[in-house]
Structure 1
Amino acid sequence: MSNFKLSAAALAVASVLLASTALFPSKLLEAHAAEQTVPPTVHYRTKKIDGVDIFYREAGPADTPVVLLLHGFPTSSHMFRNLIPLLADRYHVIAPDYPGFGQSAAPDHKEFAYTFGHYADLVDDLLGQIGMKSYAMYVMDYGAPVGYRLALKHPERVSALIIQNGNAYDEGLGLFWDPIKAYWNSDTPEHRKALESLMTLETTKFQYTDGMSDLSRIDPDNWIHDQALLDRPGNLDIQLDLFKDYGSNVPLYPKFQDFFRTQKPPTIIVWGRNDKIFPVSGALPYLKDLPDAEYHLIDAGHFALEDKLDEIAPLIRNFLDRKVARN
């Protein structure tokens, strides 16, 4: 009889537990969901700057330190799509597309100056419109001369530098640059046409895959997306104009380097060491002018974020938390 009573009691307890679970499953799910991390929301915006639509991605609390992400060729702010959510819980992240890239307007090259100085002015005006007075800058590829020109305009506004395969030294312009240098030295139709191969699908794919440690990590949508934009009518001349104007950055290298030495912004260098476009020979000279820079060579190629986001993002996050975040 006692055994029956014990079994009945156990059954009663079990039935109560089962009933509570059946009656309140949503409460259990809500409690579980509350424990999960929700990625920050990314906003996709466009501002008219000097008569041109400039697209930018924006995420993060408005009252937190700003991180400005400046993209390279031939991509856009799309290259930062995976990094932005990893920073935007604590930082206000802004990532614009330059004219002729991504979702920004692409005026005819005969009516619009596709120059790095113009890009820096447009980014400056964009930041002014949205009220950004201080920012850490992530500079990569084309983003380096755009960002460094911006730094020369407003050195006091640069709170930190994140440098990823972006050049500011003669040593960084190696063999890859020889045909482009020929174009700088002699603006002939032959030299201009010789650079058209740099806008082909083969070259675009090369930039994403060469030197990467694990090709299975590289999303093929990258080069398909970029190539579709490169192939828009008129875009070839836009890119060739920019290749020509890139030579205007080289005489500014001493001024960029003087900015490093005099302003001494907190700096982290995260460089894809297998990059043939901006090789390690362009990374090392930074340490002469920024001896306190944190220096990391990453086993990746040109677009290192595609291969090693899991390695690079924590380095950047840790750096910003120590050097930029408000305590």
Structure 2
Amino acid sequence: MDSARLPADWPYRADARHIRVSPHDWWVIDAGPKDAPVLLLLHGAGGSGHSFRALIPLLSETYRVIVPDLPGQGCTRPGGMRRLGLDAMAEDLTRLCQSAGMAPQAVIGHSAGAAIALRMADLTPLQAIIGINAALGTFDGAAGVMFPLMARALAVTPFVGAAVAKLWGNPATVNKLLTGTGSPLDAAGQAQYLTLVRDAGHVGGTLGMMAQWRLDGLMARLPSLQEPVLLIASDRDMAVPPKVSRDAVVHMPDATYAELAGFGHLVHEEAADQVAAVLLPWLAARI
């Protein structure tokens, strides 16, 4: 998506800028005191940094909050489509933070962003990692085989991003997609996701991420992870059930689990105050 075409009321548009760090042209929100400890916030597949719009003000009173759009999604223009998998994104985000002088003390990731946060612990010193409805599981049954294969096929098909954006880029479909996560969102939230879904580049980048996504290596390393981890899950998450986070904490030496009742996959958009009430005291004890 061209950042110049963002709606005037796009969340934190005035606090964002392009940062060119090979191989991508990143779009990065930078909020809060510049001399404060740095928190890196990573959105999930199909989203953008805007998804933290309600959480940023609760964090930026104490921390410098850095929120990039992931490569190929939102307004971050990818330097090619071969670095959209878990390992490559973690490496490129680490390079971005180091090159721009904003190395994080902690990383907060939502959904797939939580997996990237955990992977970054192998690449840069972190004092804490937080996952919100962390996507650390796999699809069951035939979906575990067919969905990645379908994503790979779609990702290499010319013009498929434009076709999917045209097919899905309507209010009814976006409402159905969001409702399917357990988080229907309000009218403003739905309109923001509609803007993303209507953008062919964003759809193509999301498909590319899905096609290249591999969790096996990360999951095998979890038992050796030394950094403290907090996993926050929602009991009504229809995309990543809370059992995924409950199971994951068992495999990490220093992991804590917290569950919020009454919300879906996008709990940080539905109830940012409740998410902050859990993570801020936990963070304060560690950084």
Q: Judging changes above 3 Å, is the alpha-carbon distance between structure 1 residues 258 and 91 closer, same or farther for their aligned structure 2 residues?
A: same
| TM value normalised by structure 2 | 0.79
Summarize the alignment of residues 15-164 of structure 1 with structure 2, pairs less than 5 Å apart. 43-106=15-78, 109=81, 112-154=82-124, 157-164=125-132
**Aligned partner of residue 311 in structure 1, secondary structure:** helix
Q: Go from structure 1 to structure 2 and tell me whether the alpha carbon gap of 1:212 and 1:191 turns closer, same or farther (over 3 Å shift).
A: closer
Note if 1:252 corresponds to 2:218: yes
Equivalent runs, 1:274-293 vs 2, <5 Å: 274-290=236-252, 293=255
Structure 1: how far apart are the matches of 2:43 and 2:148? Answer: 23
Percent identity, aligned pairs only?
Answer: 24
Map 1:153-302; keep pairs closer than 5 Å.
153-154=123-124, 157-168=125-136, 172-175=137-140, 178-179=142-143, 181-184=145-148, 189=153, 200=168, 204-210=174-180, 212=182, 218-246=185-213, 248-255=214-221, 257-260=222-225, 263=226, 265-290=227-252, 293-298=255-260, 299-302=262-265
- The root-mean-square deviation of aligned C-alpha atoms, in Å, is 3.3
1:258 counterpart letter in structure 2: P
Matches of 1:87 and 1:240, distance apart in 2: 31
Unaligned runs of 5+ in 1: 1-39
The answer on 1:307 being equivalent to 2:270 is: yes
The structure carrying a bigger helix percent of its residues is: 1
| Residues 21-40 of structure 1: CA deviation (Å, up to 9, x unaligned) | xxxxxxxxxxxxxxxxxxx9
Unaligned runs of 5+ in 2: 1-11
- Residue identity in the other structure for 1:119: M
Query: Cα deviations across residues 232-281 of structure 1 (Å, max 9, x unaligned)?
Result: 234444332222111x22343102x1343xx1x23322212211221112
Code of the residue aligned with 1:245 in structure 2: it is Q
Greater shift in the superposed pair: 223-232 or 53-62: 223-232
Aligned counterpart, 1:7: none
Corresponding residue of 1:318: 281
Q: Which has the larger radius of gyration?
A: 1
Distance 1:58 1:291 in 2: 32
Residue in 2 that maps onto 1:8? none
State the Cα distance separating 1:75 from its structure 2 match.
1.1
In 2, Cα distance between the equivalents of 1:82 and 1:186?
A: 34
Distance 1:234 1:88, change over 3 A: closer
- Aligned to 2:194, what secondary structure does the other structure show? helix
CA distance 1:116–1:267, shift in 2 (3 Å): closer
After superposition, give the CA deviation of every residue in 1:22-75 in whole Å (9 maximum; x if it has no partner). xxxxxxxxxxxxxxxxxx997212200115310111112222221110101211
Q: In the comparison of the two structures, how many residue pairs are matched?
A: 269
CA contact (8 A) 1:207 1:303 kept: no
> Per-residue deviation at 1:96?
0.6
Q: TM-score, normalised by structure 1?
A: 0.71
1:62-114 CA distance string (max 9 Å, x none):
222211101012111101111111111211111111122122125664xx543
SS in 2 for 1:153: coil
Letter of the 2:138 counterpart: L
Letter in 2 for 1:148: L
User: SS where residue 27 of structure 2 aligns?
Assistant: strand
Task: Write out per-residue CA displacement over residues 128-179 of structure 1, whole angstroms, 9 at most, x where no aligned residue.
Answer: 122234421111122123222221222xx111111111133xxx3245x853
Q: 1:105 to 1:276 in 2, by over 3 A?
A: same
